[in-house]
């Protein structure tokens, strides 16, 4: 059974609908104090949050924007846009830093990026749905040396886009991506 990396929900700041600025002490706790729970338990347990490395990928000044197709698993996400590359941290990711190791795996698996620099910028901690109450995102801006490409074309379509182009599909973005776009706009990316 799949296991996912979690921390007690009490470790995190109060949920909010905006990006929580990076706190080095919280990032260290996430990296050092997390542990694994079986995923079915973690999905139903609001006393813990599953940690998701969530990368906003840029290449040559443009963002990698993806749209979920009907070939993807979750029907509620079909035709939704996302800027985020990320996923759960599993035991095979833990060798050094679980967050960075999980990020590395997701970048390779989802968009084929091997060479990059990653800057952690903040956290997403929301409580607007049952799913969001059991997850927390560690948000990175990733500058990819390689041009990103969708590795599962049956599930996703992807293209490089300016922030203005991303804003044109804002209403079609998933919730976490809206949080990130709001942050990017405020920073004049």
Look at residue 10 and tell me whether its pLDDT is greater than 90. Answer: yes
What's the pLDDT score for residue 120?
98
In which band, very low, low, confident or very high, does the pLDDT at 98 lie, cut at 50, 70 and 90? very high
Give me the chain's average pLDDT, please.
Answer: 94
Q: Which residue has the tokens 């040396």?
A: 145
Q: What is the mean pLDDT of residues 96-110?
A: 95
Q: What is the mean pLDDT of residues 30-57?
A: 96
Q: CA 123 to CA 13: how far, in whole Å?
A: 9
Whole-Å CA distances, 101 to 88, 97, 98, 122: 11, 6, 5, 18
Q: Which residue has the tokens 């804002």?
A: 170
Q: CA 100 to CA 92: how far, in whole Å?
A: 12
* CA triple 100-101-106, angle to 5 deg: 95
Whether this prediction's pTM lies above 0.85 is answered by: yes
Look at residue 73 and tell me whether its pLDDT is greater than 70. Answer: no
pLDDT in tens, 125-174: 999 888 899 999 999 999 999 999 999 999 999 999 999 999 999 999 99
Q: What is the mean pLDDT of residues 70-99?
A: 85
- Which structural domains are found in the chain, ordered by start? 3-186 (3.90.79.10)
Whole-Å CA distances, 25 to 31, 41, 105, 166: 10, 27, 24, 32
In which band, very low, low, confident or very high, does the pLDDT at 69 lie, cut at 50, 70 and 90? confident
Q: What is the mean pLDDT of residues 176-186?
A: 97
Look at residue 34 and tell me whether its pLDDT is greater than 70. Answer: yes
In which band, very low, low, confident or very high, does the pLDDT at 74 lie, cut at 50, 70 and 90? low
């Amino acid at each position: 059974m799949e296991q996912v990396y979690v921390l007690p929900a009490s470790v995190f700041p109060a949920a909010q609908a905006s990006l929580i600025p990076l706190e080095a002490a919280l990032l260290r706790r996430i990296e050092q104090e997390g542990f694994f729970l079986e995923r079915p338990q973690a999905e139903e347990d609001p006393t813990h949050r599953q940690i998701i490395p969530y990368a906003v990928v840029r290449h040559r000044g443009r963002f990698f924007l993806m749209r979920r197709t009907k070939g993807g698993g979750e029907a509620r996400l079909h035709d939704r846009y996302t800027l985020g590359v990320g996923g759960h941290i599993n035991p095979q990711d833990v060798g050094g830093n679980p967050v960075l190791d999980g990020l590395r795996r997701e970048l390779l698996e989802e968009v084929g990026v091997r060479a990059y620099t990653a800057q952690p910028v903040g956290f997403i901690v929301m409580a607007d749905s049952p799913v969001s109450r059991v997850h927390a995102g560690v948000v990175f801006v990733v500058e990819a040396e390689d041009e990103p490409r969708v590795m599962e074309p049956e599930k996703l379509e992807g293209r490089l886009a300016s922030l203005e182009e991303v804003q044109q599909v804002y209403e079609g973005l998933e919730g976490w991506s809206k949080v990130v776009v709001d942050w990017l706009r405020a920073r004049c990316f």
